[in-house]
Amino acid sequence: MADYTIVTVDYSNVEKLGFFCVKNKKHPGYIAKRLWLQQRFEEGMRVKLVLTNDGKQAGFLEYIPGEYTWRVVNAPNYLVIHCIWVASNKFPFKGMASALLTNCIEDAESSGKDGVAVVTSDGSWMASKEVFVKNGFEPVDEADPHFQLLIKRIKKGPPPFFPKNWDERLMQYRGLQLIYTNQCPYIGKAIVELPPVAKEHGIQLKLIELNNAAEAREKMPTPYGTISLVHNGQLLADHPISATRFKNILEKEL
């Protein structure tokens, strides 16, 4: 008997099951993500949860059709993975990540997609590429400073790709600006905690929320497509950061 099952989160059970990363329903990130998800389900968003036999959550996978992805990639007729996370240190079951990816690939096959795409990173925030390569993904593009675009091909055809105008995107943002979406629940805490830190340092932090996927793909200056901290065209952070990390950035860079 398997140690876990994979269930789909949708309209009917999202309030009960949540979406793994943030459990506290009063957390600002949980509230923002919950509202964000309601709209994404209509666009084909899928959230898969790994549930242990005793009902505990051990991991999750989030993906969406490329036409609606919030990652900064051009991936028509592909499914694009936003996030994958398995608590392998707490639940030492074998193959949870691979089982989630297999579930996604089977979904792509049954819905006639050309394949599955994912943005990976050598940094500390996003999933590394090893688990994807293990499951048949191959690199097709890369972007500075540490991002890769990998795909699992199902049909022949042109592969997805990153835009090439990163410097041009960055130069549009003057002053200190935090460009964000509500795709990641950890951002909710950041947009509450970071502005007071900036004020303490005599700096104004401008918050810019991107409200739809097309806007995020067009305006975000990093492939992650969820958050970018920029000062006068210089990228300072490309993933959610704590108030302490933000303070250190201000003292070092500004």
Which pLDDT score is estimated for 124?
A: 67
pLDDT band at 27 (very low <50, low <70, confident <90, very high): confident
* Distance of alpha carbon 14 from alpha carbon 10, whole angstroms: 6
Higher-confidence position of 32 and 80: 80
Residue 189 has phi, psi (to 5 degrees) of -70, -40
Residue 111 domain flag: yes
Residue 233 domain flag: yes
Same domain, 222 and 148: no
Same domain, 170 and 148: no
Same domain, 184 and 245: yes
Same domain, 24 and 133: yes
pLDDT in tens, 152-181: 999 998 999 999 999 999 999 999 999 999
Number of separate domains in the chain? 2
Same domain, 125 and 175: no
| Residue 200 belongs to domain spanning | 166-253
Higher-confidence position of 224 and 176: 176
Residue 119 domain flag: yes
Do the beta carbons of residue 100 and residue 46 sit within 8 Å? no
Tell me the pTM: 0.94
For 203-224, what is the mean pLDDT? 95
Boundary (domain end) residue, out of 153, 182, 207: 153
CATH number at residue 71: 3.40.630.30
Residue 10 domain flag: yes
Boundary (domain end) residue, out of 153, 179, 196: 153
For 179-204, what is the mean pLDDT? 92
Residue 171 domain flag: yes
pLDDT in tens, 39-70: 999 999 999 999 999 999 999 999 999 999 99
Same domain, 94 and 173: no
Same domain, 135 and 180: no
Residue % of the chain over a pLDDT of 90: 72
Boundary (domain end) residue, out of 153, 177, 205: 153
pLDDT band at 111 (very low <50, low <70, confident <90, very high): very high
Same domain, 172 and 143: no
Which pLDDT score is estimated for 145?
A: 86
Residue 161 domain flag: no
For the chain, the three-class secondary structure string (H helix, E strand, C coil) is CCCEEEEEECCCCHHHHCCCCCCCCCCHHHHHHHHHHHHHHCCCCEEEEEEECCCCEEEEEEEEEHHHCCCCCECCCEEEEEEEEECCCCCCCCCHHHHHHHHHHHHHHHCCCCEEEEEEECCCCCCCCHHHHHCCCEEEEEECCCEEEEEEECCCCCCCECCCCHHHHHCCCCCEEEEECCCCCHHHHHHHHHHHHHHHCCCCEEEEECCCHHHHHHHCCCCCCCEEEEECCEEEECCCCCHHHHHHHHHHHC
For 76-99, what is the mean pLDDT? 92
Same domain, 73 and 23: yes
CATH number at residue 174: 3.40.30.10
Higher-confidence position of 4 and 188: 4
Residue 228 domain flag: yes
Same domain, 134 and 104: yes
Same domain, 149 and 199: no
How far from 212 is each of 80, 107, 218, CA to CA, in Å? 16, 24, 10
pLDDT in tens, 113-155: 999 999 999 876 777 789 999 999 999 999 988 899 999 999 9
Same domain, 92 and 60: yes
